[in-house]
Amino acid sequence: MSDLNRVLLTGRLAADPELRSTQSGKAVVNFRIAVNRRWLNPESGAWEEETTFVPIVAWGKQAENCAAYLQKGRLVGVDGRLRIRTFETQNGERRRIAEVIAQSVHFLGPKPQAAEFETEPPADVPETPPPEEEVPF
């Protein structure tokens, strides 16, 4: 029997995705999702909440799609595998990081509304609409 390494998460992006390319030109995107856990504290009887920020890595076309369509606050579902990576800092200290390598990223919920729309129409658009034409029925 083979080992199983599978992670399924839903959460909201903590920041906009960061798209980069490897030296060979392959796209890679990094982002973090906030995963909330809510439980009833048996001692106090009050609801408590805990948020875990999980680093996600996606590759290739999926990375490009994440960078193009995801932004901070967007709800996503991630299906992937857990990877523990070891690296060395500039000071020579060894560090470990746990991250999820996404096999698929699902964009959940409605598409977010852009908050940067202009409140006034551009100058070349007339303020009054053209007269309606009669449509025969």
Residue 22 is assigned to a structural domain of this protein: yes
Residue 112 is assigned to a structural domain of this protein: no
Q: What percent of the chain has pLDDT over 70?
A: 81
Report pTM.
0.76
* Model pLDDT for residues 70-105, shown as the tens digit of each residue: 999 999 999 999 999 999 999 999 999 999 999 999
Question: Chain-wide mean pLDDT for the chain?
Answer: 86
SS (H, E, C) the chain: CCCCCCEEEEEEECCCCEEEECCCCCEEEEEEEEEEEEEECCCCCCEEEEEEEEEEEEEHHHHHHHHHHCCCCCEEEEEEEEEEEEEECCCCCEEEEEEEEEEEEEECCCCCCCCCCCCCCCCCCCCCCCCCCCCCC
User: Could you tell me the residue range of the domain that residue 19 belongs to?
Assistant: 7-39+49-107
* Model pLDDT for residues 22-35, shown as the tens digit of each residue: 999 999 999 999 99
Residue 124 is assigned to a structural domain of this protein: no
CATH number, residue 66: 2.40.50.140
